[in-house]
Amino acid sequence: MSQQATEQVHGHYIGGEWTTAGDERTFESHDPATGEVLATFRRGTESDVDAALEAADEAFEEWRSLSYIDRAEYLWDIYHELRDRHEELGEIVTKECGKEISEGKADVTEAWHMVEWAAGNARHPHGDVVPSEVAGKDAYMRRKPRGVVGCITPWNFPVAIPFWHMAIALVEGNTVVWKPAEQTPWCGQIIAEMFEDAGIPDGVFNMVQGYGDAGATITDDERVDTVLFTGSAEVGHEIADKVGGEPGKLAACEMGGKNGIVITEEADLDVAVHAAVMSSFKTTGQRCVSSERLIVHTDVYDEFKDRFVDVAEKVAVGDPLEDATFMGPAIEADHVEKIRRHNELAVEEGAEVLVDRFELADEEIPDGHDEGHWVGPFVYEIDYEPDLRCLNEECFGPHVALVEYDGDVDRALEIHNDTPYGLAGAIISEDYRQLNAFRDRAELGLAYANLPCIGAEVQLPFGGVKKSGNGYPSAREAIEAVTERTAWTMNN
Ligand code: NAD
């Protein structure tokens, strides 16, 4: 999409056609680093969603009748396009969601990793041969696609997460209606163009742009068999409660976290500082796996605090297109206000502020970027108490608590597990017994030892427990959400 294209209003991709039908409402995509308008999009209505679901429903029978390998061929085309356009797409991700440029490109890399996994998996077994109690009987577990899959995705991985959902759903034989996040419609437009270029049959893939109302129209419709949702716990639990109550419907929801890193008295502090800085400030703290709690043993607390604070004071906030930048802007003005409220809440609850760069100094804001949504690190220490909201509620920003503990790893785990969330976390220690205790007893889906708690590998399940997820992490386990199992018994 060129800059001249900002004059144009971009539409939805429904039944193999681009359409700007529906009402006249539009919305804009902005560069969060400059405030510049990038492009204008039609805002999806009930009638757009209805048309997309109709197209997906109609296309289902023919699509499911193709072989796995034929279905995967369309994804292989997209895999090559993602690779060929890596630089260009990485810059678009950075322009639209403000992640610094290496992260923008990594978003695209992760997308092709998932496409590669899903398309490659088409050549792997999709069921089980099971022994029968009766000689001469064959017994199998076979998988069938569920039907129409509604995909609802967040802004912070605008290329990777849609493919985490859609690549698997499509290869398994489902058709898809997808709503990209309202903050990143440009990435949505480009992904839809890729499906069009790959020649995917009409109606198999459909994309409706818009806000949460369009998302809710998708999730609530009876033609949708599975909802794949990634986003906030507020929205995800609302969807899971509504959809989960309907017979035959399933909602797989991956949500936020209040992730912690335990730094024990046996930690290598070089490793600890690196892990904490990466986990707390990459993507300006706006990852579901970002760490907002550093739980540090009293023996190493003061040294760790001094070193972490030193880096937090200096970490480079700036133009995300510049290689030297570590943190870009927050996604939008409303989100800056949300981060401000979390910072203020911590102070109300007794936090001792160690670093307050929430409002950047004028000289830190890059030239020509006055309209950007700038925030810097906010680091505080606080005495642990079980009901503190600042240690329980996800801020989704560069907002980090240091919590000192005394005692053994059981005490660290008690503090670590005392949050309603259970997505990601890490332990930093040279003692294998402490690592094993964390691996076995930390309440989370993604556990790291002597590493930052961010990062993903598509061949591992990616998802959370407790308030963070409802049991369908990505990849192999996500297949459960988009297929039904049939027990098939045959008399020979
Ligand atoms: P969000 O929940 O506000 O929005 C996510 C998507 O849901 C958007 O497309 C939005 O339009 C749509 N939506 C909003 N209301 C809806 C409704 N009532 N019905 C249906 N759809 C609706 O989240 P966000 O701000 O885009 O993303 C940030 C959140 O996502 C954070 O909480 C973060 O932790 C989480 N997240 C989780 C993961 C994970 O894998 N667990 C990954 C990335 C982000």
What pLDDT score was predicted for residue 3? Answer: 43
Q: How far is the CA of 230 from the centre of ligand 1 (A)?
A: 5
Q: What gap in Å lies between CA 325 and CA 317, rounded to an integer?
A: 6
CA atoms within 13 A on the CB side of 224: 33
Q: What gap in Å lies between CA 243 and CA 239, rounded to an integer?
A: 6
Atom 10 (ligand 1) nearest CA: 212
Percent of the chain with pLDDT over 70: 98
The tens digit of pLDDT for each residue in 247-274 reads 889 999 999 999 999 999 999 999 999 9
Q: What gap in Å lies between CA 218 and CA 182, rounded to an integer?
A: 15
Q: How far is the CA of 366 from the centre of ligand 1 (A)?
A: 29
Per residue of the chain (492 residues), what is the pLDDT tens digit? 544 445 699 999 999 999 988 778 999 999 999 999 999 999 999 999 999 999 999 999 999 999 999 999 999 999 999 999 999 999 999 999 999 999 999 999 999 999 999 999 999 999 999 999 999 999 999 999 999 999 999 999 999 999 999 999 999 999 999 999 999 999 999 999 999 999 999 999 999 999 999 999 999 999 999 999 999 999 999 999 999 878 889 999 999 999 999 999 999 999 999 999 999 999 999 999 999 999 999 999 999 999 999 999 999 999 999 999 999 999 999 999 999 999 999 999 999 999 999 999 999 999 999 999 999 999 999 999 999 999 999 999 999 999 999 999 999 999 999 999 999 999 999 999 999 999 999 999 999 999 999 988 999 999 999 999 999 988 788 899 999 999 999 998
Structure tokens that stand for 128 in this block: 């089980």
349 is catalytic: no
CA atoms within 13 A on the CB side of 491: 0
288 is catalytic: yes
Atom 40 (ligand 1) nearest CA: 254
Selecting among 97, 253, 288, 453, the annotated active-site residue is 288
What pLDDT score was predicted for residue 2? Answer: 43
* Any atom of ligand 1 within 6 Å of the Cβ of 189: no
* Any atom of ligand 1 within 6 Å of the Cβ of 232: yes
What pLDDT score was predicted for residue 7? Answer: 67
- The structure's pTM equals 0.97
Where do the DSSP E strands lie in 20-80?
26-30, 37-42
Atom 12 (ligand 1) nearest CA: 212
Q: How far is the CA of 123 from the centre of ligand 1 (A)?
A: 32
What pLDDT score was predicted for residue 6? Answer: 54
What pLDDT score was predicted for residue 230? Answer: 98
Selecting among 254, 266, 332, 404, the annotated active-site residue is 254
The tens digit of pLDDT for each residue in 106-148 reads 999 999 999 999 999 999 999 999 999 999 999 999 999 999 9
Atom 3 (ligand 1) nearest CA: 232
Atom 19 (ligand 1) nearest CA: 216
Structure tokens that stand for 355 in this block: 């670093």
* Any atom of ligand 1 within 6 Å of the Cβ of 179: yes
* Any atom of ligand 1 within 6 Å of the Cβ of 292: no
What pLDDT score was predicted for residue 378? Answer: 98
Tokens 């785990």, residue? Answer: 413
Ligand 1 atom closest to 219 (CA):
20
Using alpha carbons, select from 417, 419, 327 the residue that is nearest to residue 427: 417
